[in-house]
């Protein structure tokens, strides 16, 4: 007689199932490319400004290891717990954003983005992005009274029509709901903005807009928001003095290619030199010249320029394509989700990855003013990498519960 297998006392915490293997392979490919390029981009900077030429790479390798372990752990925890603690995570995120503004600017003068605990420094804004996504996903689900099926003709990710024979619902049915969630998004964005982190605030707004749009806010609200957004962009571009000094100067430098070549234009000019000198196939791995203190801290926001110089147009195209496929897999997983919370969480995380990658690449190619946005999974930074890996762990978790076509 076969003996019954004894269950672990922690089995209620974990789920079993096959994760989305293509998503996992693409993700680990990006992380691997990131580690290789970070080693190449950082060793000159590390040699001059750190204790050894491999210090930043060693730290990033440790962060990547922690991130992978966190991702695998998160991918096994029952996703219902993320729903249950969505408000708690959002609340902690808001609290950290308030605390970081009250602390002295110990890491970079004038910027309040980091909390220094002595043994580790982290950015609350990175945690807040995930907190916002979970919070909005929870709220969007609460506004659904019931979902029976999907109308094939409505190809929105989460598009529902109200109580028809197809059994669908509109998430937002009132002016009050739209305003309330708009205010919640603005709270996150404003708290990040007062850290002197304009690009982080823009990213928060973008993630919120994508989630609300695919959550079926009526189009008229997006038309109004679009008009206001375009007006704000034109206003600040035409009048950069209205912004903080550093942000206004970056806009001026972006518009005027001859503006302070040794100052505000230095990063952008050397980034373009790097990409341009890479040509079609690149100068070869490790052969970049611009990383030798021409591009300041090339392991961070401008690492895509080093990719362009060393791996050329082909390398840039491969990296961009990997991000496109990763976001596509997020969309595919979301389309097959059976409930609103999981659908919107995957969409939010996919939107964050796609938008942040696009912003970083746009800065490196001078398609927009310089911002402090990292290239996901590739730029140096422990908080960013670990939080991103944890976020994609949630995506892998959810992928276990969907039937992929």
Per-residue pLDDT of 137-183, as tens digits, reads 988 887 654 443 444 334 344 444 444 444 444 444 455 666 777 88
For residues 399 and 405, what is the distance between their CA atoms, to the nearest angstrom?
12
Q: What is the chain's alpha carbon radius of gyration, rounded to the nearest angstrom?
A: 22
In DSSP terms, 399 is beta-bridged to none
Please give the model's pTM, rounded to 2 decimal places: 0.85
pLDDT reported for residue 262: 67
- List pLDDT tens digits, range 337-373: 888 889 999 999 999 999 999 999 999 998 888 887 8
pLDDT of residue 15: 59
Per-residue pLDDT of 391-401, as tens digits, reads 999 999 999 88
CA–CA distance, 274 with 271 (Å, rounded to integer): 5
The pLDDT score that the predictor gives to residue 169 is 44
50: pLDDT strictly greater than 90 = no
Q: Are 184 and 207 in contact (CB under 8 A)?
A: no
Query: What pLDDT is attached to residue 59?
Result: 93
C-alpha separations of 352 from 203, 360, 384 in Å: 8, 12, 12
Give kind and range of the element (H or E) at residue 312: helix 303-335
- Cβ-contact 97, 192 below 8 angstroms: yes
The strand ranges marked E within 259-306 are: none
Written as six digits, the tokens of 383 are: 């908080």
Q: What's the CA gap between 341 and 326, in Å, rounded? A: 20
pLDDT at 240: 66
Residues shown for the chain: 405
Nearest to 387 by CA among 349, 344, 354, 330: 349
C-alpha distances out from residue 183 to 179, 209, 214, 271, Å:
6, 12, 18, 37
118-141 burial by CB neighbour count: b if 16+ within 10 A, else e?
eeeebbbbbbbbbbbbbbbbbbbb
Rounded to 5°, angle at Cα 203 from 202 and 207: 120
Q: Nearest Cα to 324, choosing from 348, 354, 364, 346?
A: 354
Residues 6+ positions from 139 with CB-CB distance below 8 Å = 181, 184
CA terminus-to-terminus distance, the chain: 40
What average pLDDT does the segment 303-323 reach?
Answer: 95
pLDDT band at residue 241 using 50, 70 and 90 as cut-offs: low
């Amino acid at each position: 007689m076969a003996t019954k297998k004894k269950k672990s006392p922690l089995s209620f915490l974990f789920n079993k199932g096959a994760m989305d293997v293509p998503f996992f392979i693409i993700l680990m490919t990006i992380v691997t490319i990131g580690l290789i390029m970070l080693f190449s981009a950082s060793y000159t900077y590390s040699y001059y400004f750190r204790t050894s030429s491999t210090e930043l790479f060693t730290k990033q390798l440790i962060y990547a290891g922690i991130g992978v372990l966190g991702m695998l752990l998160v991918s096994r925890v029952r996703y219902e717990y993320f729903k249950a603690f969505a408000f708690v995570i959002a609340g902690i995120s808001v609290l950290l954003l308030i605390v970081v503004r009250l602390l002295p600017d110990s890491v970079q003068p004038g910027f309040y983005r980091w909390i220094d605990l002595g043994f580790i420094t982290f950015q609350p804004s990175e945690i807040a992005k995930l907190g916002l996504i979970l919070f909005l996903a929870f709220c969007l689900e609460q506004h659904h009274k019931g979902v029976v099926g999907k109308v094939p003709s409505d190809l929105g990710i989460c598009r529902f029509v109200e109580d028809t024979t197809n059994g669908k619902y509109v998430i937002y049915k009132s002016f009050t709901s739209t305003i309330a969630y708009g205010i919640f998004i603005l709270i996150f964005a404003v708290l990040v903005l007062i850290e002197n982190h304009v690009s982080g605030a823009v990213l928060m707004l973008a993630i919120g807009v994508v989630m609300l749009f695919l959550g079926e806010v009526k189009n008229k609200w997006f038309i109004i928001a679009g008009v206001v957004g375009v007006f704000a962009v034109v206003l600040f571009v035409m009048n950069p003095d209205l912004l903080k000094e550093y942000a206004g100067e970056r806009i001026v430098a972006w518009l005027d290619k001859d503006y302070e070549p040794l100052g505000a234009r230095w990063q952008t000019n050397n980034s373009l030199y790097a990409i341009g000198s890479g040509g079609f196939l690149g100068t070869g791995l490790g052969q970049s010249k611009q990383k030798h203190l021409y591009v300041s801290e090339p392991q961070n926001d401008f690492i895509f320029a080093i990719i362009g110089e060393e791996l050329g147009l082909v390398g840039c195209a491969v990296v961009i394509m990997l991000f496109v496929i990763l976001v596509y897999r997020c969309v595919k997983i979301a389309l097959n989700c059976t409930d609103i919370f999981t659908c919107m969480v995957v969409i939010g995380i996919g939107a964050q990855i796609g938008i942040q990658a696009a912003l970083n690449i746009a800065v490196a190619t001078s398609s927009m003013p310089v911002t402090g946005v990292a290239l996901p999974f590739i730029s140096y930074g422990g908080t960013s990498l670990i939080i991103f890996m944890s976020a994609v762990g949630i995506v892998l978790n959810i992928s276990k519960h969907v039937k992929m076509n």
